Amino acid sequence: MKIQERTGAGAGRSAVPAQPSVGDRLPTPPRERKPALAALAVLLILLGALGATTLVLQAGDRIEVIELTGDLQAGDSITDAKITSVMVNKDSGAEFVPWSQRELLKKLQAKSTLYKGTVLVGPMFATKNSLPQGKATVGVSLKEGQYPTGLKAGDNVAVYRVGSNSSSSGNSSSSSSSNSSSGGGNSLLVERAVVADVKDNGSGDVISSTSLPVTLTVDASDAAALTQAASDGSVAVVLIPGN
């Protein structure tokens, strides 16, 4: 009797082993992290961005230079009213004058006529001629007695033709035909000239010799007569008021 009950109790059991439920999954092994590869990727990204930025900057490397806003005649200097600033490629190879050097450029003069819209480069300009318009410089060699003691650069002088030919030569000069000295018929060649240079002996004292090289700045209209008189050695200078 007991054997049958045991057999009946076991009859309802399945011989198949129990399976896990569908919702339950087996645990997976953790992924292996590779920090070196991640760092390398970030580094490559940064290098690429840096390279692209450098190329952009080089392509746009520009400088501020000077452009004319009006025509500039040969011999003239730039003025603020005739210039403006523009940006140009720094690597163009041209010798553009930077905007920051415009004050220095004002001290130079144009070699030839320049026109509105011209971007200025250094070779277009040269050192300004210090001689004023309408003036000329003439060199004379003065003998002792034909110049005052202590003659120096910057002095204002009157220039006379002296000697036996003073009257006839003086009459041929437009500036001296109506001006004659009361002392022996010496004629006035230049009413006012400026001593530009006096040759000295290095100590500031005029060389004591038979002749004294002197450079005079005079009106251009007086240069011909003065040059002719200087070639004869018949020129004398006298200090006048204004020194």
User: What is the per-residue pLDDT for 126?
Assistant: 85
Do the Cβ atoms of 235 and 226 come closer than 8 Å? yes
Tokens of 32: 């292996």
Report the pLDDT value the prediction gives residue 157, as an integer from 0 to 100: 94
Please give, one letter per residue, the 3-state secondary structure of 159-190: EEECCCCHHHHHHCCCCCCCCECCCCCCEEEE
Question: Per the structure block, which two tokens stand in for 132?
Answer: 């004023």
* 3-state DSSP assignment of residue 223: helix
CA 71/CA 82 separation, integer angstroms: 8
Round to whole Å and give the CA distance between 226 and 129: 22
Helices (H) and strands (E) in the chain, counts: 5, 9
Domains of the chain: 62-127 (3.90.1210.10), 135-239 (no CATH)
Task: Report CA-CA distances (Å) from 117 to 83, 93, 146, 201.
Answer: 9, 19, 55, 52
Query: How far apart are the C-alpha atoms of 204 and 207, rounded to whole Å?
Result: 9
d(CA 197, CA 105): 28
The continuous run of DSSP H or E covering 59 comes out as helix 35-59
| Per-residue confidence in pLDDT tens, the chain, 243 aa | 455 555 555 555 555 555 555 555 656 666 666 677 777 777 788 877 777 666 655 555 789 999 999 999 877 889 999 999 999 887 767 889 999 999 999 989 888 889 999 999 999 998 876 677 788 889 999 988 899 988 988 899 999 998 755 444 444 444 443 343 333 446 999 999 999 888 864 444 444 456 899 999 999 999 999 999 999 889 999 999 876
pLDDT at 33: 62
